[in-house]
């Protein structure tokens, strides 16, 4: 675990903006996890949703 007390400055966000963004990202990851569980049980649905969702999140958070 890395502690960076300048993270908010580097991300150019205040505490609340950062917090809401992280909560939103966490919610999206939670939804992707649920979709992954459903796909594990019913492999003929949600074929690329999880992998595409993770790629999209990665691209959105590269500079975060």
Residue 29 CA neighbour count, 13 Å, CB half? 9
Q: Residue 11 has what pLDDT?
A: 85
Tokens of 29: 């990851």
Q: What is the pTM of this model?
A: 0.81
**Residue-wise pLDDT tens digits, 6-63:** 989 988 899 999 999 999 999 999 999 999 999 999 999 999 999 999 999 999 988 7
CA–CA separation, 29 vs 39, rounded Å? Answer: 15
Residue 64 pLDDT class (50, 70, 90 cuts): low
Q: Residue 43 has what pLDDT?
A: 96
């Amino acid at each position: 675990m890395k502690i960076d007390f300048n993270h908010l400055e580097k991300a150019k966000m205040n505490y609340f903006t950062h917090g809401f963004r992280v909560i939103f990202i966490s919610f999206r990851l939670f939804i992707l996890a649920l979709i992954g569980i459903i796909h594990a049980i019913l492999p003929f649905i949600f074929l690329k949703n999880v992998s595409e969702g993770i790629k999209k999140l990665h691209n959105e958070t590269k500079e975060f």
